[in-house]
Amino acid sequence: MEKDEERLLALAGDKSKAYRHDSKRTFRPATVEGTPDVVYAIDTEDQKALLDFIALRKGSAYKIDERSTFGPYTPLRTGEIRILELYADNVNNSLKGELHVVSVEFEYPEKGNGWKRYTNHAVSIEAEKLMYYTALSYVWGPPLFDARFYLRGGHEIQITRGLEGALKHLRREDESVYLWVDQICINQPDSKEKEQQIPLMGSIYSHATNTLIWLGDDEHGTAQSAFSTLDTIHSRLDLCENQIGPADFEHLHIPSPTANEWHDIKRLFHRPWFFRLWTIQELMLSLNTYAKYGDAVAAWPDFAAWCSVLEYTGIQRWLESDNKSLRHSELDLTTHFTLGCGIVNELEKERYYLASFIHKSSILSVLVATRHAQASEPKDKVYGILGIASHHITPSYAPDVSVRQVYTEACIDAASEMFSLLSCVDHDAPLRPSWVPDWSSPRVTESLGYATKSHNLYCAGLIKKFVENGEATHISPSPGHAWFRLDNNLNTMTLRGKLVDTMASVGPAAALTSLDIDIPEENNSILVAYANIANQYQTYPTGEAIYDAFWKTLVANKDASGNSHAPQDYSEVLSLVLDSSTGKQPSLLGQTYSPRRTKGFFTLSTLQSRKPALTLDDLRRAFRAAAQNRCFAVTGKNYFGLVPRGTRVGDRIFILNGGPVPFVVREAEGGFVLVGECYIHGIMRGELIDQRMDWKEVTLV
């Protein structure tokens, strides 16, 4: 009995240390006693649960893989990881330390009142003690392992310069710090161990005493300036409810648009950490997080708040707009460049979802949300998000398991969202299987049919119901709208649908979707090219004017928010820009002119005044969202459309039974290859669907 009490006291540490939260949120890496900002006392019930767990693990016959030990790496049992003890030393000396094997399986039990203590440590089974540690979230950088780390026992391992810089910032001169660092704590040449460790990522980061996001060394000496300026902007604009433009900066006492501070902020938000895949999961799973850039450091809630202010005041859009001129070329098919602050804002929404709901997000929604992120190993586009997604996937880095097999497995896991899945196909050329998106490539178009909100606008494969006056009141799905079948090899998918049209004419891809009003005749060439195609037609199948069908097609008949159909205000503004670009009036059949346009009161200079300028900005964003990297096209039945950039004359238009948007498909041996989703004006509300529709089985290969 006395021995058990001693063990309880050893586990508990100093019982005078109650929970303490440092309001300044000063970052310190974990030591043997934890961190100064968060310290917990462990009550007797939780201490007993710890002892029971240790006893169970010591008494269980856990099997250890009999693979030979590689240097300092001994085999790990189920639920075990290694923690790096980074020895104290002078900043200029070599990096040294040792590895400790610990378990991250333990979690404190739920109490009778539904409360449970947050598990912010690992457990050393051998030493029978808690192990506090800091989890490091960082970017490896180029695969050049030209820095050295010396482990106890005379073992030397090679690490990247990026990790070396982080460890030198974390090392203390007075005592060891304890870290989880993937590059050292996982035996990287051992693929089997990596497969075993990936499922533990959720526990590794959620059980960490704290997590440090290492943004890298401050090579230009601008980190403190960027953090300080962001803090100032937040304090000045935190309660602001209006959109802020460069003209407002001076009277709000924030740096002028040409000040160096904005370049410092852009440099910060260009850091590679924001665009890497694994870092997303690491942030999402961590609870006590800090961001560090050189010597500048901030608690993550503060950093996220800085980014949020940039978004809701409109400063983020200004930064990204200014940034695009530096990044974009007509030969580049990448979408408009997003700064790291925009990515932080999206991640915070996902973090809120993860914290608010019991169930994890679907694997498809996480794959879509992280598609922009980069991974040097293509399989990691799936494996790197398993800790935050609902799935049934077992990682495999075996060479006989291809990347496409991994992506196919992920898609099968997402099969309940089939229509959304097919809308994720966005390739330069079809791959095999063609219905499986290439998750390793960032999307270069905005999806038409993925988002749930688009289902209120588009219902091409659904049946209309009418009231007596002939207006559609609501849409009901046709029977079996989610039906599909996979072959035994998981290569082909069969769905019910209807081939309704053929591509007759395909214009160039819209790499740039500007609606310029300064030199429209020179800078709106894609708009003129599309108008020249539309000008070859006298009537439209729905009976509406050619011009009306044209402008609605250019924005996929939705506004910039994607929540509503395109407003009529777009028509007059686009008509003015189009005529100024072509030098004709009218440019297309069916163009009509308001009295103010006829009398010369509505000109390009008018579009710089407040309300018309807002309409033009909204129109530009709607045009970019719909047409960026798509092609304007005309079908054999004379419908206008926006189609994937790889579409060819002769490709078919396919409507899925129950699907919101049509798809372009191409005949191939054994069926059809999926080219991608499309917008065809005049068939997006189920106009071609009726109760007598003879649905056919169509196979995608």
| Tens digit of each residue's pLDDT (9 = 90 or more) over 294-310 | 999 999 999 999 999 99
State the residue for tokens 């028509």.
Answer: 571
State how far the Cα of 516 lies from the Cα of 628, in Å rounded to an integer. Answer: 15
End-to-end CA distance of the chain, in Å? 69
Number of C-beta neighbours around residue 288 at 10 A: 20
Token pair, residue 78, equals: 């189920």
Highest mean pLDDT among 139-143, 329-333, 335-339, 557-561: 557-561
Q: What is the tens place of the pLDDT at every residue in 405-435? A: 999 999 999 988 999 999 999 999 889 999 9
Q: What is the tens place of the pLDDT at every residue in 642-655? A: 999 999 999 999 99
| Torsion sign, CA atoms 561, 563, 568, 574 | positive
- So what's the pLDDT on residue 581? 97
- So what's the pLDDT on residue 693? 77
**What proportion of the chain, given as a percentage, has pLDDT over 90?**
77
Between 223-237 and 300-312, two packed helices, what is the crossing angle to 10 degrees?
Answer: 60
Which amino acid is it at 147?
A: A
State how far the Cα of 196 lies from the Cα of 185, in Å rounded to an integer. Answer: 13
Q: What is the tens place of the pLDDT at every residue in 154-169? A: 999 999 999 999 999 9
> What's the helix, strand, coil split of the chain in %, to 5?
35, 20, 45
Stretch 560-570: mean pLDDT, rounded? Answer: 95
Among 235, 396, 398, 230, smallest CA distance to 306 is for 230
Q: Rounding to the nearest 10 degrees, give the CA dihedral for residues 233, 239, 242, 243.
A: 30
- So what's the pLDDT on residue 697? 94
Q: What is the tens place of the pLDDT at every residue in 624-634? A: 999 999 999 99
Whether the predicted pLDDT of 604 surpasses 60: yes
- Higher-scoring residue by pLDDT: 1, 60: 60
Q: Are 185 and 88 in contact (CB under 8 A)?
A: no
State how far the Cα of 421 lies from the Cα of 484, in Å rounded to an integer. Answer: 13
State how far the Cα of 684 lies from the Cα of 660, in Å rounded to an integer. Answer: 8
Whether the predicted pLDDT of 470 surpasses 50: no
- Higher-scoring residue by pLDDT: 17, 546: 546
Q: What is the tens place of the pLDDT at every residue in 502-515? A: 999 999 999 989 89
Q: Which of 37-51, 377-391, 675-689 has the lowest mean pLDDT?
A: 37-51
> What residues have CB less than 8 Å from 24, skipping those under 6 apart?
none
State how far the Cα of 87 lies from the Cα of 196, in Å rounded to an integer. Answer: 28
Q: What is the tens place of the pLDDT at every residue in 205-217? A: 999 999 999 999 9
pTM attached to this predicted model: 0.87
Q: What is the chain's mean pLDDT, rounded?
A: 89
Sequence-ordered alpha helix ranges (H) in 501-606: 520-523, 525-534, 546-554, 569-582, 595-598
Stretch 555-559: mean pLDDT, rounded? Answer: 97
pLDDT confidence bin for 25, thresholds 50/70/90: low
- Higher-scoring residue by pLDDT: 335, 318: 318
Between 569-582 and 610-627, two packed helices, what is the crossing angle to 10 degrees?
Answer: 80
- Higher-scoring residue by pLDDT: 489, 24: 489
Q: Are 291 and 276 in contact (CB under 8 A)?
A: no
CA angle 104, 109, 114 (to 5 degrees): 135
- So what's the pLDDT on residue 58? 86
Q: What Cα–Cα distance (Å) separates residue 588 from each residue in 533, 534, 604?
A: 10, 8, 19
Stretch 454-471: mean pLDDT, rounded? Answer: 68
The SS3 of residue 307 is: helix
Stretch 20-25: mean pLDDT, rounded? Answer: 46
Between 525-534 and 569-582, two packed helices, what is the crossing angle to 10 degrees?
Answer: 100
Residue 128, class by beta-carbon neighbours within 10 Å (0-12 exposed, 13-18 middle, 19+ buried)? middle
Stretch 480-499: mean pLDDT, rounded? Answer: 85
Stretch 281-290: mean pLDDT, rounded? Answer: 94
pLDDT confidence bin for 121, thresholds 50/70/90: very high
Stretch 104-121: mean pLDDT, rounded? Answer: 89
Stretch 57-85: mean pLDDT, rounded? Answer: 77
Q: What is the tens place of the pLDDT at every residue in 81-99? A: 999 999 999 988 999 999 9
Highest mean pLDDT among 57-71, 185-199, 444-458: 185-199
State how far the Cα of 28 lies from the Cα of 292, in Å rounded to an integer. Answer: 11
Q: What is the tens place of the pLDDT at every residue in 314-328? A: 999 899 876 543 333
State the residue for tokens 């608010």.
Answer: 356
- Higher-scoring residue by pLDDT: 403, 695: 403
Which stretches does DSSP call E strand in 61-169? 80-86, 95-103, 122-124, 129-131, 134-137, 147-151, 155-159
pLDDT confidence bin for 357, thresholds 50/70/90: confident
- So what's the pLDDT on residue 400? 95
Token pair, residue 394, equals: 């077992």
- So what's the pLDDT on residue 565? 96
Whether the predicted pLDDT of 475 surpasses 50: no
Which amino acid is it at 4?
A: D
State how far the Cα of 526 lies from the Cα of 512, in Å rounded to an integer. Answer: 8
**What proportion of the chain, given as a percentage, has pLDDT over 70?**
89
- So what's the pLDDT on residue 172? 96
- Higher-scoring residue by pLDDT: 523, 358: 523
- Higher-scoring residue by pLDDT: 481, 462: 462
What region, left, alpha or beta, does residue 442 occupy, with left being phi > 0 and alpha being psi -120 to 50 degrees?
A: beta
- So what's the pLDDT on residue 336? 40
Token pair, residue 60, equals: 């269980």
Q: Are 71 and 28 in contact (CB under 8 A)?
A: no
Q: Pairing mode, if any, of strands 134-137 and 177-180?
A: parallel
- So what's the pLDDT on residue 286? 94
Highest mean pLDDT among 105-119, 369-383, 457-471: 369-383
If DSSP states are collapsed to H, E and C, what string results for 448-493? Answer: CCCCHHHHHCCCCCCEEEECCCCCEEEEECCCCCCCEEECCCCCCE
Q: Which of 247-261, 472-486, 583-597 has the lowest mean pLDDT?
A: 472-486
- So what's the pLDDT on residue 337? 54
Per the omega criterion (within 30 degrees of 0), is the bond before 433 cis?
yes
Q: Which of 76-80, 331-335, 522-526, 632-636 has the lowest mean pLDDT?
A: 331-335
State how far the Cα of 177 lies from the Cα of 217, in Å rounded to an integer. Answer: 20
Per the omega criterion (within 30 degrees of 0), is the bond before 72 cis?
no
- So what's the pLDDT on residue 583? 97
Stretch 440-460: mean pLDDT, rounded? Answer: 89
State how far the Cα of 435 lies from the Cα of 419, in Å rounded to an integer. Answer: 11
Stretch 54-62: mean pLDDT, rounded? Answer: 78
